[in-house]
Structure 1
């Protein structure tokens, strides 16, 4: 019975992780495209809160339940799909951690521009370029992890 609960929590946390990440990226990108520092600052404030409330706990739960399931089922860590999923999980983390900093930086730069009634500085645009490009490997890695979790291929394809 514990197995089914942990598996359900694992699936739920992966869904929350993917959905929240995609939603955050969408709303932040739309705010960025509007170019209004006040809108960007307010959206970025919400994005940072959402990452703290939803994404970060989901990452921890995802990792913890995944390890528990692998140990409970006696799945060897060397198994192709599990090893690849873990590598991709760390790729996601390596992209997401800088993105957290970039989101906070974009929020600060937009808030400063809004308070001064000034246009967004060039440093804001550079910040968003990095945010955008770090998002793609993270997004594609999450998609690949979902595929690996469902298909569980036994060898490199």
Structure 2
């Protein structure tokens, strides 16, 4: 029963991590495309809150439940698919703090512009671009992790399988 409970939490955390993360990402992209500082400031404020209070804890729950599941099943951390998913998860996670910082900067820049009635400052686009591409990399990593979890295959095994087909 412990295993099934942990697996359930692991899957729910993955849904929250992926769902809220992707939702926040897409909402901030849509808001930024308006170039309206008021819209961007409001959306970015919510995105920062959701990512801080929902997405981040989901990531922590993911790693904790994943490690507990590995332990309960007797798999080693060096099992190829486990090690691959853990390495990619840590890479994606290393993008997370900078993404939160950049989101907060985007929010602050948009808030200043909205308060003064000015256009977005010149640096907004540069910060946005950094944030956008970190998101692309992060979500690509998450897609790969989900593939690994479902198939128990490393990306290299998949490439080998596809090359042999």
TM-score class, shorter-chain normalisation, is over 0.9
Q: In the alignment, does 2:96 pair up with 1:96?
A: yes
Give the count of matched residue pairs.
157
SS at match of 1:156: helix
SS at match of 2:119: coil
Compute the TM-score of the two structures, normalised by the length of structure 1: 0.97
Deviations 1:21-57 (A, max 9, x none): 1100010000000000000000000001101221011
Paired position in structure 1 for 2:62: 62
Q: In 1, are the aligned partners of 2:80 and 2:154 still within 8 Å (CA)?
A: yes
Paired position in structure 2 for 1:8: 8
1:37-116 correspondence to structure 2 within 5 Å: 37-116=37-116
Q: Distance in 2 between matches of 1:134 and 1:104?
A: 15
Deviations 1:80-135 (A, max 9, x none): 11111011101111112101000000000000011110000111111100001101
Q: Distance in 2 between matches of 1:10 and 1:112?
A: 39
Q: Distance in 1 between matches of 2:3 and 2:94?
A: 29
SS at match of 2:156: coil
Q: CA deviation at 1:155?
A: 8.7
Question: Which 4+ runs in 1 deviate beyond 3 A?
Answer: none
Q: CA deviation at 1:77?
A: 1.1
Q: Any stretches of 5+ residues in structure 2 without a counterpart?
A: 158-165
Paired position in structure 1 for 2:34: 34
Q: Distance in 1 between matches of 2:109 and 2:61?
A: 32
Q: Distance in 1 between matches of 2:147 and 2:24?
A: 22
Paired position in structure 1 for 2:19: 19
Q: CA deviation at 1:154?
A: 6.8
| CA RMSD across the alignment | 1.1
The 3 A distance-change label for structure 1 pair 122 and 66 is: same
